[in-house]
Structure formats: C-alpha cells, structure tokens
C-alpha cells in the first residue's frame, strides 16, 4: 500500500468495511454441519452471508474509488 493509499480520506471507511466482512466470514465459517443445523441456524447463516455480501460490495467500491483518486 502506498503512502497516498494509506492516508486517503476513505481509508478509515475501507478498514471498517473490511473488518465487518472479515468478522461476518469468520462467523459463518465456523464448523457447522449443515445437515445437523436447525432451520433457525441456517437463517442466521443466510443473514450473515447477506451482511458479508454487502460489505464485500462496499469494499470493492471503496477500493476502486481510492485507486481512481490515486492514479
């Protein structure tokens, strides 16, 4: 990461978004045996994956904005 990227005004937003994505993925990637998981657990997994998907989309957008500002 260049000095310009590190000090970009969107960097704190990107860092928070990446942390949210990492947290959601870690939560879902626990050792869950799908065949044994109750329906409410599958619903929780689905909701967590939706959060992860939204965070990934935001991270992509922020990275692209940072990259376009730097180049």
Instruction: Please compute the mean of the pLDDT values over residues 1-7 and round it to a whole number.
Output: 73
- What is the pTM for the complete model shown? 0.85
Query: What is the residue extent of each domain of the chain?
Result: 3-70
3 pLDDT band, cuts 50/70/90, is low
By the 8 A CB rule, do 14 and 70 touch? no
User: Which pLDDT tens digit goes with each residue over 5-48?
Assistant: 788 999 999 999 999 999 999 998 877 888 999 999 999 999 99
């Amino acid at each position: 990461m260049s000095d310009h990227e590190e000090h970009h005004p969107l960097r704190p937003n990107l860092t928070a978004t990446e942390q949210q994505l990492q947290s959601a993925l870690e939560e879902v990637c626990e050792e869950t045996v799908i065949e044994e998981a109750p329906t409410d657990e599958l619903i929780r997994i689905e909701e967590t994956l939706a959060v992860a998907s939204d965070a990934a989309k935001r991270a992509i957008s922020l990275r692209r904005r940072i990259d376009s500002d730097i180049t």
